[in-house]
């Protein structure tokens, strides 16, 4: 199984500042034939299901604000929120869909400082 | 409105059974792989099972293999999860989700249904 490890577990950032969440996979999720990273990011607010933010490691889902950005390749990935807004308080998960069992990171809780 | 709606959760004793349903409205599940993902109270997301578009291929997490069965009825636009021999550690909110292609991201997700296994 591919193990996904996020860092940090929790993060407090001031409004308007940058938030950075890291995700590392135990093996590469880059599929060479199409040069795509099989990595997604989700946002989950209390009492709600996860919401897709990013897929293919860096493609923003339609309707997701452009302050959310994904980067990285192979085994190391980053979710960046360029200017934190109050509504961004949530838990963020990375997930690999390179192979089954699909696996998620443990989650990063983002709060306002 | 485009949505997946889970139902069938509830309180069940250890060793008991439940059948979850996931009904799609405003979207079709036909032609798509469908998955179940669960989340224990206060914990993270864990993938449970998947089924291909015509129901001929299924995959399970080791923790539920032999106890859970995923199925679908494309005519009813509905996904199912039959859960047998339930254990306390199966207590979780169960989400259904659609995936485009053999390997892809989860979108959309249902609102989830809570399964509590307790005596």
- Write the DSSP string, A8-28: -SEEEE-TTS-EEEEEEESS-
Question: How confident is the model at residue B101, as a pLDDT?
Answer: 82
pLDDT in tens, B68-97: 999 999 999 999 999 999 999 999 999 999
Q: How far is the C-alpha of A66 from the C-alpha of A60, rounded, in Å?
A: 8
Taking only the tens place, the pLDDT of each residue in B46-58 is 999 999 999 999 9
**B contacts of A52 (beta carbons < 8 Å):** 105-108
Structure tokens at A56: 């293919």
Strands B106-109 and B45-51: unpaired
Provide the number of CB pairs (under 8 Å) joining chain A to chain B: 55
Chosen for mutation from B45, B65, B111 (greatest number of chain A CBs closer than 10 Å) is B45
Whether residue A49 and residue B112 make contact (CB cut-off 8 A), yes or no, is yes
Contact B44 A93 (CB under 8 A): yes
**pLDDT, position B78:** 98
Q: Is B103 exposed, middle or buried (0-12, 13-18, 19+ CB in 10 A)?
A: middle
Averaged pLDDT, A92-108 = 97
- Find out whether the peptide bond into A6 is cis, omega within 30 degrees of 0: no
Task: Map residue A87 onto helix, strand or coil.
Answer: helix
């Amino acid at each position: 199984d591919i193990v996904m490890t996020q860092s940090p577990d929790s993060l407090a950032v001031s409004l308007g500042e940058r938030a950075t969440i890291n995700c590392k996979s135990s093996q590469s999720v880059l599929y060479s034939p199409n040069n795509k990273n099989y990595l997604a990011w989700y946002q989950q607010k209390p009492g709600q299901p996860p919401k897709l933010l990013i897929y293919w490691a860096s493609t923003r889902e339609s309707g997701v604000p452009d302050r959310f950005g994904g980067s990285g390749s192979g085994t190391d990935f980053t979710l960046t929120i360029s200017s934190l807004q109050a509504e961004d308080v949530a838990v963020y998960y990375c997930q690999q869909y390179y192979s089954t069992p699909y696996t998620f990171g443990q989650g990063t809780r983002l709060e306002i400082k | 409105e485009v949505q997946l709606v889970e139902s069938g959760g509830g309180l069940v004793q250890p060793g008991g059974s439940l059948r979850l349903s996931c009904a799609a409205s405003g979207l079709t599940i036909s032609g798509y792989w469908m998955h179940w993902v669960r989340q224990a109270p206060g914990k993270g997301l864990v993938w449970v099972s998947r089924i291909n578009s015509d129901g001929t291929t299924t995959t399970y997490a080791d923790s539920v293999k032999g106890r859970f069965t995923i199925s679908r009825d494309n005519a009813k636009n509905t996904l199912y999860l039959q859960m047998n021999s339930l254990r306390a550690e199966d207590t979780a909110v169960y989400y259904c989700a659609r995936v485009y292609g053999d390997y892809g991201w989860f979108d959309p997700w249902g609102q989830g249904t809570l399964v509590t296994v307790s005596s």
